[in-house]
Structure 1
């Protein structure tokens, strides 16, 4: 007897399957393309918080998820024996001018209360940092200790391994049984948009690169609109573009060349470093710009988990728990602006 069918083996689908299986549910995961075949098979993995101001339910949800992430990924790795590449290594951001410096200081005060003492947002001098740090016109950078890194496709592989230990198969096709969770990313948004006769979400293309550069456990950088993420395997991810118009969803082009050039300009230490992989994929963005979670209004027993866009991996631990609460126990703690109706 299958209690839950998850359609979609990306980060949301796999994480929800894991949360349900840990609670004793019988689960099957169905994806005709296999695990992490879409946006979840990427390479960047920046688990970075929104700025600590103008607080709302999305930022609060993200904070809780980021604080849950260490235990979540440790449990997954312990169960399946496969590393996810998670590490709460923090982040550095250069401060361009005095106005931005004043704003950063105010945000540091905000973080002191909003982040519950679990992490800090502080201003530090570039002179106090090591070689893998950005230059800054003011001589100062923002350092936050909440940001973390993860290797997206390795994290999905870790979840698959943990699910296998629990007896949860990842299969190409099978009949729906039990409660049905649709975590089908861009294809799911397209299907919903066709059904509704209006756009409820879109796919946004992203391009990223992986460099052979070992920065160890250095903090990730956010410079010139780019994320630079030192991974635990001795590579450095750089990304990404955000393209609403595209012809070749999985093809990289000169836009990625520009991303690499900008990264080298910001961090000359990367000049001449080998590019070991170029990646492109389509990320699902719901109309509300928040994750789309909850019951499918017209289909009893069906649920939707979609719209992770750029923050899906950071949101996944909390998404998994609230969806397991809803699907298995009927306990609805999904924020109002995340609910499916908010995008439909």
Structure 2
């Protein structure tokens, strides 16, 4: 039985722990701040694909991971007896003008080739539903690949599933066996100090929770804002992408603007109460792709970092790929995701 120490209890660390424990490894998870304490403790949880064009390894990897998400979260929920809030209910996007309409129709054709029968990207006329964004053209993009979950609930559900398998989250502890560093922005900062060029940086995001029960409904992406109807009677709206900031954990007028844009995009949210405001820093690797693989010059140590905006969507596939590498010595990591791409 292999021993694995995972440092970091965000979505990458917890998901990798889950994949390793299911393969029979002995797993220890260490995080001085507890599970979901960093950017994984946000509120949005949009699992949305890249546009189906200019196909590359990153988009293919993300497609595989989004398709794995349903079975992944179903097993975690079955083991834990809790809900992650996962739902593959699709996404709507308003189409602003004729040029955008032509492009959307081209992408509908390419999605059939790239996504196959797994999901569709279609251009539909507005149907007058209350839960829909106003569209200048009267048309919207509807995709059936997008899903969402509640990030905090997802982390709590993984913690409970791991606990059912005998794994607890420790605040401190020694390295035992192979060590996987999934330490988010703190990990990127440490790597930056050790190298002659920047390995990655943090990008601040702000988001909010509104009290509104949209039922089972698609998420909406309009005017640069994600609008996510969670199953617990709330709607998440966000988020910003701030590269220059002073306080990483404080919300400000930029979030007020996001909330206003969300209410314009979905008028039924006009009077919805804001019940929580969130801010945090998301780790972005220099390559802009997740950073996975062996840690150069540190035998037996591995890195899983750089989830940025797509960490939850990438987590199911990343967990299996890292388990392949660490437990079986099989490297299934795309070249652009390799640690060396950011070093």
- TM tier, smaller: over 0.9
User: Which whole-Å CA distance do the structure 1 matches of 2:285 and 2:333 have between them?
Assistant: 15
User: 5 Å matches for 1:193-212?
Assistant: 193-212=192-211
Correspondence for 1:261: 260
Correspondence for 2:80: 80
User: 5 Å matches for 1:168-317?
Assistant: 168-317=167-316
User: Which whole-Å CA distance do the structure 2 matches of 1:280 and 1:211 have between them?
Assistant: 15
Deviations 1:119-171 (A, max 9, x none): 00001111x25210001111000000000010001000000000001111200
TM-score of the aligned structures, taking structure 2 as reference length:
0.99
User: Which whole-Å CA distance do the structure 1 matches of 2:261 and 2:116 have between them?
Assistant: 35
Correspondence for 1:132: 131
User: Which whole-Å CA distance do the structure 2 matches of 1:99 and 1:262 have between them?
Assistant: 23
**Structure 2 counterpart SS, 1:87:** coil
8 Å Cα contact 1:2-1:177 kept in structure 2: no
8 Å Cα contact 2:2-2:327 kept in structure 1: no
Deviation at 1:269, TM superposition (A): 1.5
Correspondence for 2:318: 319
**Structure 2 counterpart SS, 1:4:** strand
**Structure 2 counterpart SS, 1:111:** helix
8 Å Cα contact 2:325-2:331 kept in structure 1: yes
TM-score of the aligned structures, taking structure 1 as reference length:
0.99
Deviation at 1:2, TM superposition (A): 6.4
**Structure 2 counterpart SS, 1:135:** coil
User: Which whole-Å CA distance do the structure 2 matches of 1:199 and 1:116 have between them?
Assistant: 38
User: Which whole-Å CA distance do the structure 1 matches of 2:33 and 2:122 have between them?
Assistant: 43
Deviation at 1:116, TM superposition (A): 2.1
User: Which whole-Å CA distance do the structure 2 matches of 1:67 and 1:140 have between them?
Assistant: 27
Correspondence for 1:109: 109
User: Which whole-Å CA distance do the structure 1 matches of 2:265 and 2:216 have between them?
Assistant: 19
Deviations 1:155-206 (A, max 9, x none): 0000000000111120000000000000000000010010003211000000
User: Which whole-Å CA distance do the structure 2 matches of 1:30 and 1:201 have between them?
Assistant: 22
Correspondence for 1:67: 67
Gaps of 5+ in 1: none
User: Which whole-Å CA distance do the structure 1 matches of 2:116 and 2:19 have between them?
Assistant: 25
8 Å Cα contact 2:4-2:178 kept in structure 1: yes
User: Which whole-Å CA distance do the structure 1 matches of 2:326 and 2:188 have between them?
Assistant: 20
8 Å Cα contact 1:7-1:31 kept in structure 2: yes
User: Which whole-Å CA distance do the structure 2 matches of 1:260 and 1:247 have between them?
Assistant: 21
User: Which whole-Å CA distance do the structure 2 matches of 1:264 and 1:232 have between them?
Assistant: 19
Deviation at 1:85, TM superposition (A): 0.3
Instruction: Give the direction of change, closer, same or farther, for the CA distance of 1:129–1:25 in structure 2 (3 Å limit).
Output: farther
Worse-matched range after superposition: 277-286 or 262-271: 262-271
8 Å Cα contact 1:292-1:305 kept in structure 2: yes
User: Which whole-Å CA distance do the structure 2 matches of 1:59 and 1:263 have between them?
Assistant: 27
8 Å Cα contact 2:215-2:233 kept in structure 1: yes
Correspondence for 2:35: 35
**Structure 2 counterpart SS, 1:251:** coil
8 Å Cα contact 1:252-1:278 kept in structure 2: yes
CA RMSD of aligned residues (A): 0.8
**Structure 2 counterpart SS, 1:6:** strand
